[in-house]
Amino acid sequence: MKLVVLVPEARLFDGAVAKVVAEATTGSFALLPRHADLVAPLVPGVLVYETTEGETGYFGVDEGLLVKCADEVSVAVRRAVGGRDLAELRQLVEEEYLALDEEERVARSALARLEAGVVRRMLELDRPS
């Protein structure tokens, strides 16, 4: 079975696997090579795969979609970080989300300033001359 993990800007993984474990909105599930085709909306969590050589790999994934068609499993998510060790993956995910939180804080601050400017200009237009 082939696993492909995609984010908007890159293909993070493309290789042969024996098993994929993921978490959808309905709960966790495992896919093996001869399982039925499937489409599942993924929730943020850990995607686990086992290579054909017996090695285990992990991806911390954001929301996305998993599609199994024949012998190919495609996973498309907004963000993902991969690793071979869960402790390492946890640290990578924390760093990724801390950076994201900072970016979001800066964006919210800029939006608040923009909104305040619009309100101020509207009040100026409303004043009699």
Q: CB under 8 Å to 69, separation ≥6 — which residues?
A: 37
Helical H segments across 1-129, by residue range? 86-126
pLDDT at 86 (0 to 100): 82
Identify whether the C-beta of residue 4 lies closer than 8 Å to the C-beta of residue 75.
Answer: yes
Q: Which residues pair with 73 in a beta bridge?
A: 3, 68
Quote the CA–CA distance of 95 and 44 in Å, as a whole number.
16
pLDDT tens across 88-108, in order?
A: 888 777 777 766 666 777 777
Give 28 or 113, the one with higher predicted confidence.
28
What mean pLDDT comes out for the span 107-119?
A: 81
Query: What share of the chain has pLDDT > 90, as a percent?
Result: 57
Tally of CB atoms within 10 A around 18: 15
What global pTM score does this model have? 0.72
Q: Tell me the Ramachandran region of residue 6: left when phi exceeds 0, alpha when psi lies from -120 to 50, beta otherwise.
A: beta
117 pLDDT tier (thresholds 50, 70, 90): confident
Residue 50 CA to residue 68 CA, distance in Å, equals: 16
pLDDT in tens, 49-63: 999 999 999 999 989
The rounded distance, in Å, linking the Cα atoms of 76 and 73 is: 10
Higher pLDDT, 88 or 43: 43
What confidence score (pLDDT) does residue 107 get?
A: 76
